[in-house]
Amino acid sequence: MLERLAARCAEEPPARPLEVFAVDPYEAGAGRIWRTDQSPWFLMNTPAQEVTMFSGPADDGPHRPGAGPTLGEWWAEEDPAGAEPEGYAPRAVYGRYLTYVMARIEETLPPWLTVHRVPARVICADRAREGDGPDAGAHRLRLDRGDVLTVDRLVLATGHPLTELDAEQRAWQRFAKEHSTPARPVKYVAGGSASEMPLAEIPAGASVGILGMGLTFYDILTELTLGRGGTFTEGEEGLLYLPSGKEPRILAGSRGGVPLLTRGANQKGPEHRYRARLFTPERMAALRAGGAPLDFERTVLPWLLAEVNLVLLATRIRHAHGPEAAEEFTERGVALLDGRSDPRPRLLERLAAGHRIDARPLTGLDALARPFAGRRFGSSAEYHKVLTEWLRADRTPSGAAVPRASVPEAAGARARAASPVPHADAHRAAPATGPLARGAAPLPPGDAGQEAGRHLRRHGDADDHRPRRARDGDPAPPVQVTRGTGDPTDPTDSPPL
Ligand SMILES: Cc1cc2nc3c(=O)[nH]c(=O)nc-3n(C[C@H](O)[C@H](O)[C@H](O)COP(=O)(O)OP(=O)(O)OC[C@H]3O[C@@H](n4cnc5c(N)ncnc54)[C@H](O)[C@@H]3O)c2cc1C
């Protein structure tokens, strides 16, 4: 907002001078989520080159509102040796970029715009009523430091809120309290930003149960492994995790029993916009025109899947036969489905089959989210084996060779540094047989082992088009910490999941 306001004010003076009060108890610019002092192991989930806070690209002039670098460009300039503009920047790096943007805005303000940083929390906001004198109609912001700020306009940009515990979380908290003893303390840590969790307090060898295996799971996992001095090295079968000995024992579970899938290496510029061909606003408006509420699964999801499959299959064709073949497939696919009421995946599959590629489309989201639904495993070891194969397949390109530069290195590795168990079955899980319990985790062979970089990436194969199953800022998983013996053969040493 501030960047755009400043850019517009620089172009054309406002009717009267403007004063902006930027109120935040955290660092101005970076704010709470992007604090610059957080662990370098917490990464963004958006490729650096796709992120910009400037509303226009940098030009020959100084960086200023309307013209400045993307995060990737800025990072490459700031840290030429370490930056990975196509990869995922640590959140602290993005915080430094935001601090830079804030500084550039302040340093280039036109004379009729003033910005005040107010390092405080607003604890109450209301509007002055008629009869409240000259302030009538103004917004009054009571600050935690005691004073009141009165302004004409108020923009709430408070981001992810800090919430109170809900009933389930309170139950976890109670559970931890009831089971905690001085010899074996149990602590419940509610979800939120991993940088705000007391992860450093978890002693080596303690048992940590993580509920949920989405983005925050990876934050916690890296912090408790690589952040504790663990490293990856090249092994016979691929990457090996070499523990430092300071790690806790990690048990992770999610409703689907699988971690978040690897991310497609599909980096784009900040200006990129995909324009839907089938799942269009016009089509949805037409479906809504009937007036009755839409059934998402029956009416909306098929078109969403059709769009995904159009891109998925066109990409496989592009990898195998080049852009022209892909373009032709896209146009024929759109023409084929456009007039239909039911865009079944089989139709695109048949069309793609003539191109000598893997023409299997995505047929639904459930199979991705719950790949083991309804399946039973005889033992934890059997489940581990199946899961490992599934994770390998997730990383294996289904189309043409993946360009070397875009091969994931440790994204798959991350998934293997813990021993995930399906949530519902967690109480039956045998002592961990996973990599941490063994001390070193063999990882799949191939290019993935080439580069155990400082910055783990959140992407997968160029051909992996599976949708993300968690959104930015999804509720983070709670962490439950139990202090155990650290002995994987000790049956009493499993967390009370
Ligand atoms: C852990 C985490 C990781 C994320 N990673 C990514 C990512 O990689 N890529 C991405 O695109 N998005 C990510 N997101 C989403 C991200 O929060 C948004 O993209 C972006 O930060 C939203 O910007 P914002 O300015 O709306 O909110 P925020 O950046 O959250 O800023 C809101 C600010 O408001 C302040 N505030 C709140 N209440 C008050 C109050 N009462 N008084 C004064 N100040 C207050 C807070 O202190 C905070 O600094 C992530 C979110 C979380 C929680």
For 418-459, the pLDDT digits (tens) are 334 333 333 222 222 222 222 233 333 333 333 333 333 333
Instruction: Name the residue with the closest Cα to ligand 1, atom 23.
Output: 159
Angle between the 71-78 and 91-107 helix axes, to the nearest 10 degrees?
100
pLDDT (0 to 100) of residue 56: 95
Nearest ligand 1 atom, CA 88: 8
In DSSP notation, 430-476 reads PSP-SHHHHSS-B---SGGGG---SS------TT--PPPSS-TTPPP
Measuring from atom 28 of ligand 1, which residue has the nearest CA?
Answer: 159
To test ligand 1's pocket by mutation, which of 50, 472, 474, 479 has the most ligand atoms within 8 angstroms of CB? 472
State whether the beta carbon of 372 lies less than 6 angstroms from ligand 1: no
Question: With a 6 A CB cut-off, is 449 part of the ligand 1 pocket?
Answer: no
Residue 20 is encoded by which pair of tokens? 């902006």
Q: What are phi and psi of 265, to 5 degrees?
A: -80, 95
Q: Rounded to the nearest whole angstrom, what is the distance from the C-alpha of residue 39 to the centroid of ligand 1?
A: 17
pLDDT in tens, 201-255: 999 999 999 999 999 999 999 999 999 999 999 988 788 999 999 999 999 999 8
Beta-bridge partners for 209: 251, 480
Are 399 and 319 contacting, i.e. CB atoms less than 8 angstroms apart?
yes
Rounded Cα distance, 341 and 446, in Å = 44
Distance CA 266, CA 465 (A): 9
Determine the residue of 42, 145, 158, 215 to mutate for testing ligand 1's pocket, defined as the one with the most ligand atoms within 8 A of the Cβ atom.
158
Shortest-distance atom of ligand 1 to CA 122: 42
Residue pLDDT, tens place only, 261-272 = 887 777 777 778
The residue whose C-alpha atom lies closest to atom 5 belonging to ligand 1 is 44
How far, in Å, CA of 134 to CA of 151, rounded? 12
Residue 370 CB–ligand 1 contact under 6 Å: no
Ligand 1 pocket residue status of 33, Cβ below 6 Å: yes
CA of 15 to the centre of ligand 1 (A): 32
Which segments of the chain have a pLDDT < 70?
396-497
C-alpha of residue 473 to centroid of ligand 1, in Å: 8
CA–centroid distance, 30 to ligand 1, in Å, is 9
pLDDT digits 0-9 by tens, 270-291 = 778 899 999 999 999 999 998 8
Interior/surface letters 215-234, b for 16+ CB within 10 angstroms, e for the rest: bbbbbbbbbbbbbbebebee
